[in-house]
Chains A and B, each alone.
Chain A
């Protein structure tokens, strides 16, 4: 019975091995489909990876696309880890984006001050928008999953209305979009060609910041324990409602921040449907699930999934292979991972259900603790 601390490494290996296996299986399934549709998988994959991760120009595109995805993934992980399923990241991001564009267009003052206000405003908007369903769940036990999901539509339609009427750039006749923000507000581009901006660096900083909060603060600890076993947390003196509000606010704020970065760093204006149609939030949630709430794994998978899409677009141009192939690969990876996770959750759930009865006999304290 030696007390070596190989434990952390072993635990890491455990979390890493499962998505890696799933990724390989996904790639194999993708290869099979390509093979069946008459393409040489090796050639297709080499082009696909070249035109997403290796070639500098494509890598630039990949990272640009990954920037909001990373933050959405982090936003999802913050909530999920604490046992709250936030499917409203998209709506929270929309709120952040709209707030950012309004401040960016209409607030007078020096550029840095406007940027700062837009940033804070976007985070606050995202957080508030996430707190509404949290409040409903807390007060009247409405399902958080359902409400967050539904509120995506509200945010998106509301933003469409705003950019179609009050905020519409009247000089563009066809498109419903706002004007561009001032040049002085736009984020610096990292390279002379390509859209990649300092926004990417901000997303990396978000990863690090959230990692620190989650692992090195007592709030992160309380949030994690509430996710593992709310009864344990409550018994140990965690104020579970306070932790729930804070967690959801943080999750929403990160999503709002993603909206701000998207507007100030990449698009410079808000056009109707721009966030919903990109699917950032859902790709981010995927990365979050596959990365099992580890911020660095989420960073990696966000870039990987974004690269697959960019590479997929290249395939379409070079081979005439439909874009859906890339989607199939991403989805197969997801499928394999979710099978694994599903089995895991099922087992854990079954265990917990039976063990809850242990020693308490048939008295379930669920009601009292709620």
Chain B
């Protein structure tokens, strides 16, 4: 008997069927990967299983017993836990306090701090997930925060752990550690559901894989009986093409950064005397472990963070410490790394999201008046162009699937056709079909004589698209490579703060 069984689950949002009679089984000790294109209904299905959403129709069985989950507490009561992609931790508290939160050990009436620490240490020991219980959460990097989330779910005695795109925010090293953790947990008899867009992760850990498309299950097989090509075909419904890198003549300098100093959070020098340039007709990549000043660099270029010293020029125009609008006017558009913080507002409609920055320019408005008809057709075109899955332009951004929200932000910035585009983590959360499309769009941009600054924690992405690569470490440029002399090993070494010995 399967441990969890979902039977004919249907979820309807207005006119949209997010899940259409989905059935799924999860066995004890199994790692089940759920894959599928953006908007296929994966997150929705997991939210239903975790009690965050109620199904329109269908049944959930745990250990053969029919269940009705009104909220996540019901699901936790039946041993189902979910590691949120958006961590729900209290940053001022310590690791131990966060783990026992909502089920604290007590001594009499009071919180028993020593017991909390002991419990955390025991948990760490038991599952081999080591972390200092006394550390404050705000001092933990993203990878460790995720580990705290996992420990928290384990402390609540979850037998079934759901992970929704857990590696999206992790560095490659952290991802590897996470995959090890998943194997360990499965080895100890826990059952795991892993949603991911990265097929290499699927092949690395999963026992079985379920493929979803348009709200339905279109494939369900043991991992041994399938391969990369079959899975990607099932996911996107077509063969992937290989990207061809167009040869373009380099033009004049577009972005120039000179000896830039930027103070980051905690008054530490986040960007420390950095100089670089991007020329027209070029895609320049920045490789680096996240947290080495990339975010601050982008924010300083786009005018969202003050520059201490040094300067930035775009198309020959001095833009250092100018307001964001003026910088954009000089020919910049930017795909921000955090789509929900900088890229959009959840309550805003798709239409409102798409016209940001263009809203006070011809042809969308004249003299401060918006032209609703033109806006409407512009927005429909933009969304169509990037194959965003939506029901109406008056939908709220918060209702889109993660990947589709990313596509909207991306589409808006690319459709501005500015000479210079910053693309920070442009393919985060996208399915392989959409990634191919985005890569294609970036190369098109280069072909038309514009240039792109690509910042990505995905080394393979940087290496396959960029004409030139800067490696960033500790706020400085640690090395520069051309497409021809970029070798993964040397890049990796510099990214970790090592030195190349010139031989």
**Chain A interface residues toward B at CB < 8 A:** 1-8, 10-11, 216-219, 221-222, 224-225, 228-229, 231-239, 348, 351-352, 354-365, 367-369
Contacts and interface: CB of A to CB of B under 8 A. Distances in A.
A232 B306 CA distance: 17
- Interface of chain B, helix or strand or loop or mixed? loop
B305 A2 contact: no
B169 A361 contact: yes
Contact of B340 (A355, A364, A369): A355
A2 B391 contact: yes
Interface of B: 14-16, 84-89, 91, 137-142, 145, 168-169, 214, 264-265, 290-291, 295, 299, 302, 304-306, 323-325, 328-329, 334, 336-349, 352, 355-357, 359-360, 365, 368-370, 372, 389-396, 425, 428
Given A361-B141, A367-B265, A231 B392 contact: no
Contacts of A360: 295, 337-338, 341
A236 B357 contact: yes
A225 B341 contact: no
A11 B394 contact: yes
Contacts of A352: 346
B138 A229 contact: no
Contact of A216 (B145, B345, B360, B372): B372
B14 A237 contact: no
Contacts of A368: 265, 299, 304-306
B86 A355 contact: yes
A229 B339 CA distance: 12
B154 to A, nearest CB: 20
Contacts of B324: 234-237
A5 B393 contact: yes
Contacts of B394: 5, 7-8, 11
B348 A237 contact: no
A10 B356 contact: no
- Interface of chain A, helix or strand or loop or mixed? helix
Given A6-B14, A367-B265, A358 B141 contact: no
Contacts of A222: 359-360
A81 B223 CA distance: 52
Contact of A354 (B87, B299, B342): B87
Given A235-B304, A356-B341, A361 B291 contact: yes
18 contacts: A3-B392, A5-B392, A5-B393, A5-B394, A6-B14, A8-B394, A222-B360, A225-B356, A235-B342, A237-B324, A237-B357, A239-B323, A357-B86, A358-B87, A359-B169, A362-B145, A368-B265, A368-B304
Given A235-B324, A237-B324, A367-B265, A7 B304 contact: no
B341 A218 contact: no
Contacts of A238: 325
A355 to B, nearest CB: 5
A7 B334 CA distance: 29
A365 B352 contact: no
Of A3, A10, A359, most buried by chain B (CB within 10 Å of CB) is A359
Given A4-B15, A7-B393, A221-B359, A358 B85 contact: yes
A232 B338 CA distance: 10
A365 to B, nearest CB: 7
Given A217-B370, A358-B169, A360-B295, A225 B352 contact: yes
Given A7-B392, A218-B360, A229-B345, A359 B338 contact: yes
Of B304, B337, B342, most buried by chain A (CB within 10 Å of CB) is B342
Contacts of A228: 345-348
B307 to A, nearest CB: 12
Contacts of A1: 16, 214, 389, 391
Contacts of A348: 346-347
Contact of A7 (B141, B328, B395): B395
Of A2, A360, A369, most buried by chain B (CB within 10 Å of CB) is A360
A225 B345 contact: yes
Contact of B369 (A216, A239, A362): A216
A239 to B, nearest CB: 6
Contacts of A2: 15, 391
A218 B141 CA distance: 40
A358 B356 contact: no
A224 B351 CA distance: 13
A360 B337 CA distance: 8
A218 B392 contact: no
Contacts of B365: 218
Nearest to B343: A232
Closest CB pairs A-B (n = 6): A7-B392, A237-B325, A228-B345, A229-B345, A236-B356, A7-B394
